[in-house]
Amino acid sequence: MTQNKNTPLELRNGALRLVLRPDLGGCMAGLWLGDLPVLRSTDAAALATSRLSAGYPLVPYSNRLGYRRFRWQGHDYTTQANFDDNPHSVHGVGWQRPWQVDSSSATEAELSYTHVADADWPFAFAVRQRFVLSAEALEVHLAFTNLDNQPQPVGLGWHPYFPKRSRSRLHIELTDRWESDDSGLPTRKVPQPGIDGDVTHLAFDNCFEGWSGAARIRDEKLSMRLTSSLPYLVVFTPDTKPYYCVEPVSHVSNAIHMTNPAAHGLRTVAPQATVDAWMKLEVSAT
């Protein structure tokens, strides 16, 4: 039976423990291997916002939607500010809305959110997020259904945060990087012969194309493999923060404003149609 649940939801399998906050944007409060944080992790009761969480879903778009407006199938639409004084709207709406707990067990949980068209997103939809925790990995699935009476533009993804530790390192096979303007919007695509380096030596806040194989994420404590059905990655390595982000996404940031949005991953979803995505994070001690 569907129920509202504003209390944390905990899954365990072997040494892995996942804690969810459905009421805070369907986010992950934390993921631990034993007592060691795998993602940036916070005691669930102390978590005040999904923005400080271990990770959250990106729906119905990833990253920035330029200047909070867009034109779609001959009509002009607007969105609202949702990220400090950023001139764009950011990361969709799912991460800032309460989700319902539809089912849960010791190792699996399914959450859902139903969106009524509003000032933040002008189309109705429903989305389900399913978490599956094995002894070695976390899998997360998203399924988006268009409940509107017209096709709508859709992007999906996740925004996991990884804690910086000694020798935090990324190895990712890629082909291209989108350079950005001062406001964070992509401007042009340039060759990027992969990412292979210590996080402390990287300075990215970019969307990348040509992702193949697993993104390998290592430090002195953990070895991780991130895979996904989604073809793009956003990599964020701020030098002033104790975390970094490797985000599987379905489209280039701000694709809706590009000449051919579909060529940059944005999907057109017909009424009652469903699109889905998954990501998997395999974890082992180093």
* pTM, entire model: 0.96
Looking up tokens 């969709």, which residue turns up? 92
Both tokens assigned to 244: 């970094």
Digit-coded pLDDT (tens) for 39-98: 999 999 999 999 999 999 999 999 999 999 999 999 999 999 999 999 999 999 999 999
Contact 54, 26 (CB under 8 A): no
CB atoms within 10 A of CB 171: 14
Digit-coded pLDDT (tens) for 256-284: 999 999 999 999 999 999 999 999 999 99
Going by the DSSP 8-state scheme, the letter that residue 277 receives in this structure is E
Contact 59, 26 (CB under 8 A): no
Q: Which domains does the chain have, with CATH numbers?
A: 9-285 (2.70.98.10)
Contact 187, 166 (CB under 8 A): no
Digit-coded pLDDT (tens) for 213-260: 999 999 999 999 999 999 999 999 999 999 999 999 999 999 999 999
State the pLDDT at residue 110: 98
State the pLDDT at residue 6: 63
Q: What is the mean pLDDT of residues 166-175?
A: 97
